[in-house]
Amino acid sequence: MPPPSADLPLAPLAVLVAALGLAVGSFLNVVIWRVPRGESVVAPRSACPRCGVPIAARDNIPVVSWLVLRGRGRCCREPISIRYPLVELGTAVAFAAVALWAGWSSSLPAWLYLAALSIALAAIDLDCRRLPDVIVKPSYVVLGVLLGAGAILAGEPRRLVGAAVGAAAVFAFYLLIVLVYPPGMGWGDVKLSGMIGMALGWLGWAALAVGAFAGFLVGGLVGVALLLAGATGRKGKIPYGPWMIVGTWVGAVWGPPLASWYLTTAGIR
């Protein structure tokens, strides 16, 4: 990760970005609910799923409205899932953590976008066992532009080469897996893999290697845990996208030290 572009305190940035995260989290709730159903995320305005009454602005304040309403709709007292405030709060926390990690760098918008995307895709995959093309495909362009701008503004255009190679390498690897053993992975995971490779390749080879491996490791451990707990059978399918995303962030944040530790422990250097 390149050093921050300015020697400025991180606490105000984290607070500002966390506030942004609350608003983004509110929008992500709409995305998570509507996109799998093929609905527009911009219209119509949010309404009570039971009685259809539009939700007033005062009842649409992230986290606060859910607490004030005690988890029930104002119109018909229909219970409101706790996932709504959790997504909003989780996005705020994720944004603050990303800000503390990336600092005042030109690549911060790219990592905030990836954080929001991670939350939306993980939730949808856990719910529906799929990663919608309508989210994944345009995200290649958005993330590529943001990472490209970050690299150029930081004076490190070479990172674009790493991003391109990383995207191609990880995509090819996942494609090979699904061609060799189709039941082991979905095509949505393959489509997501290139974007993950782009982000990790932008950071460097250590982040790319650790992030790609961590996704398989976490996914495998979760699968074994579910099998031992009786939550799934040997042929049961678990969503793999969330664990690919977890692995991505492990590689992004801890890739270089983990790679260095492994190489030292293995006696390679």
Q: Say what percent of the chain tops pLDDT 90.
A: 67
Residues 4 and 125 both lie in one domain: no
Question: Residues 149, 252: one domain?
Answer: yes
Residues 101 and 120 reside in one and the same domain? no
Number of domains composing the chain: 2
133 falls in which pLDDT band (50, 70, 90)? very high
pLDDT per residue over 11-45, tens digit each?
999 999 999 999 999 999 999 999 999 999 988 87
79 and 186 co-located in one domain: no
Residue that is last in its domain, among 81, 105, 129: 105
Q: How many residues does the chain have?
A: 269
* Shared domain check, 119 and 94: no
Put residue 265 in one of left, alpha, beta given phi > 0 → left and psi -120 to 50 → alpha. alpha
Domain boundary, last residue among 105, 138, 171: 105
For the residues of 157-203, what is the DSSP string, one character each? Answer: THHHHHHHHHHHHHHHHHHHHHHH-GGG--HHHHHHHHHHHHHHHHH
Last residue of a domain, which of 105, 121, 148?
105
Residue among 248, 241, 226 nearest 128 (CA): 241
Q: Are 94 and 116 in the same domain?
A: no
Residues 88 and 167 in one domain: no
Same domain for 205 and 114: yes
DSSP string computed for 77-140: --B--THHHHHHHHHHHHHHHHHHHH-S-TTHHHHHHHHHHHHHHHHHHHHHS---HHHHHHHH
Q: Within 13 Å, how many C-alpha atoms sit on residue 207's CB side?
A: 22
How much is the pLDDT for 265?
84
Q: Are residues 119 and 244 in the same domain?
A: yes
Cβ atoms 136, 191 nearer than 8 A: yes
Answer yes or no: do 4 and 95 share one domain: yes
Instruction: Give the domain extent around 156.
Output: 107-269
- Going by the DSSP 8-state scheme, the letter that residue 5 receives in this structure is S
Residues 101 and 112 in one domain: no
pLDDT tens digits for range 141-197 = 999 999 999 999 999 999 999 999 999 999 999 999 999 988 778 899 999 999 999
Same domain, 140 and 256: yes
Cis peptide leading into residue 9 (ω within 30°): no
